[in-house]
Amino acid sequence: MCVAAARRAGTPVVEGINLEIAPGKVLGIVGESGSGKTTFALSLLGYAKRGLRIAAGEVLLDNVDLLSLPAGRLREIRGLRVTYVPQDPASALNPSQRIRTQMREPLEVHRSQLDPDLDIDARLAEVCAAANLPTTDKILDAYPHQLSGGQQQRVAIAMAFACGPELIVLDEPTTGLDVTTQRHILETIRRLTSENDVAAVYVSHDLPVVAQIADDVAVMYAGRVIEVGPIKAVMTAPAHPYTRALLRAAPTPERTSALVGIDGSPPSPGQWPVGCAFAPRCPLAVSECRSELPDLKVRGGRTQRVRCIRSTVAVREEPRRAIVAPLAPDAPVAGGELAIEGLDAHYGAFHVLRDVSLQVARGECVGVVGESGSGKTTLARCVVGMHRTWTGRMLLDGKPLASRGREFEHRRKVQYIFQNPYTSLNPRHTVGESLAAPLRHFEDVDRAECAGRVRAMLERVALRADFVDRYPDQLSGGERQRVAIGRALIVEPEFVICDEVTSALDVSVQAVIIELLRQMQAERAISMLFITHNIAVMRSIAQRVVVLNEGRLVENGTVDQVMTKPRDPYTVRLLADVPKMSEAVNENG
């Protein structure tokens, strides 16, 4: 398989991939952003993104090469024998059509190939039941925006399985979902794949999730597979230094420890160095690694194949570093203590938060977890002043925070880092302009001072000075999130709210972002409210955690207390749904 850039003299962005998937089995595809995972996955449907073309290779389905089929025949195959489940069903589903209409469409389009006498309503009810999606009029007559994220994803899964495909491609289908919804979706995919004897390709950056669902896993780096094998073998005894680094960067809910990112950055797609593309970041690299591309082959008697000449070198792994309290006694910030008493919040007639009371001490990070719809983001919006219909009492350093007409200084002291850096940064502003905007708004600074503080902040968030003139579309997801962090911190706030800031990032970038936030917090004793559905990530940054369930605070304690001895039945169930690498590998292996 080779996917090339059409406008770069055929420069490949994905190359030399040879994989097999048996019916009823799931192949996981993992790797950092830009590694070529989605490009490879889409090529299985004979599709290439704009600016790319499939230059060579075969996709054999029952010995029929999909890539050699005429365009019309390939369109007939898609949705019938090969189907696709996107990462974001909210954007993939037609917002102007009801769910019933959209779910009937693949059956109607392919009816002649399936059975001209097919009872579409009966088949629709069958696939909905298999996907645990209620076939009530309330669901089927709804528009996509009227369903939850989990319901939307079940609709996409039911549509993908409707015509009885032989191959299904799933591209990050649980990203952004809470752990309980994620577990239900994964169980549904696994069951439907096995029961229908469907071969599945599951693309994800979430290693514990892949360990939970996959039979085999292929690790991609710079457009090539660098390790492949049974899930248990690869996850418990990784042979490639990159695979080891990915696993080390993955958070774990089983212990409190700092995350370890991967030094350096992956090469841009289609701009690989000579030799092993990972060599510039690899601690084991020797001169031969930089001059010759290794073959993908079995090494050292292992059950997996690896593309590395140093795979048999013994490596002494450093123990994970324990997290210490971040409060810095000499920190220049004088405040940041938040007290919330009896907070109730509404959206119109809908009661979202009910009698929530909590405290965040100066320099403390409090994690907020719960299922989607539990009120996490509403709580954050109340604190920052973006949601105004609330009652109760909220104090910052003993002074009331108003629901409306908030004081200018309070707006400076409390800053917000949004979930999606792709939409939170103005695409028409350079990085420098985005960082300078809050300075000009909150402080009286001249141009020279503003430029100096922007450069200093870029350095603090580990970005080069030349990033100042770049636009958001010229940055990776991790780089954009660093800019968003810098924008929040440049006015020296005392309290920072992080709302799902790592949910869309791969594990290596996630580790870097979490460590960056911890360092910033330690340097200036910034108080923090860290909202996340990824409980494992929360354990790597927070000192205390609160659990929300249907708008009520049901658990409040230190991270170790809540994670090891939860008291509320809801917390017990929530923790049981968290993917655990060791359990998943043992179950699938």
Contact, 289 vs 282, CB < 8 A?
yes
Provide the pLDDT confidence category of residue 100 given band limits of 50, 70 and 90. very high
- Chain center to CA of 395: 33
Q: Considering just the CA atoms, what is the radius of gyration of the chain in Å?
A: 25
Question: Does residue 7 carry a pLDDT above 80?
Answer: no
Average pLDDT, the chain: 87
DSSP string, 130-152: HTT----HHHHTS-GGGS-HHHH
Question: Comparing 2-214 with 338-588, is the CATH topology the same?
Answer: yes
Query: pLDDT digits over 522-544, tens only?
Result: 888 899 999 988 888 888 899 99
* pLDDT classification of 334: cutoffs 50, 70, 90: low
């693949």: which residue's tokens?
106
Decide if pLDDT at 497 tops 60: yes
pLDDT at residue 17 tops 50: yes
Q: What is the pLDDT of residue 168?
A: 95
Rounded Cα–Cα distance for residues 550 and 352 (Å): 7
Q: Would you say residue 428 has pLDDT above 90?
A: yes
Q: What percent of the chain has pLDDT over 70?
A: 92
Task: Provide the token pair at 41.
Answer: 């996955």
pLDDT in tens, 343-400: 999 988 889 999 999 999 999 999 999 988 889 999 999 999 999 999 999 999 999 9
pTM over 0.85: no
Look at the domain 2-214 and name its fold.
Rossmann fold (3.40.50)
pLDDT for the residue 141: 93
Residue with the larger pLDDT of the pair 503 and 361: 361
Task: Tell me whether residue 136 is exposed, middle or buried, using C-beta atoms within 10 angstroms of its C-beta: 0 to 12, 13 to 18, 19 or more.
Answer: exposed
Band (pLDDT 50/70/90 cuts) for residue 325 is very low
The architecture that CATH gives domain 338-588 is 3-Layer(aba) Sandwich (3.40)
pLDDT 10s digits, 38-66:
889 999 999 988 888 888 889 998 888 99
Report the candidate in 281, 292, 296, 288 with the shortest Cα–Cα distance to residue 219.
296
Residue 366 to residue 524: CA distance in whole angstroms: 16
* C-beta separation of 413 from 396 below 8 A: yes
| Whole-angstrom distance, CA of residue 233 vs CA of residue 229 | 7
pLDDT of the residue at 521:
83
In the predicted structure, residue 327 carries a pLDDT above the cut 60: no
Q: In the chain, pLDDT over 90 holds for what percent of residues?
A: 52
Q: Which two tokens stand for residue 549?
A: 């369930």
pLDDT tens, position by position, 240-299:
999 999 998 888 776 666 778 888 878 877 788 889 999 999 989 999 999 989 999 887
Separation CA 358–CA 341 (nearest Å): 7
pLDDT at residue 498 is higher than 90: yes
For residue 232 the two structure tokens come to: 């248990």
Domain extent listing, the chain: 2-214, 237-322, 338-588
- pLDDT exceeds cutoff 90 at 495: yes
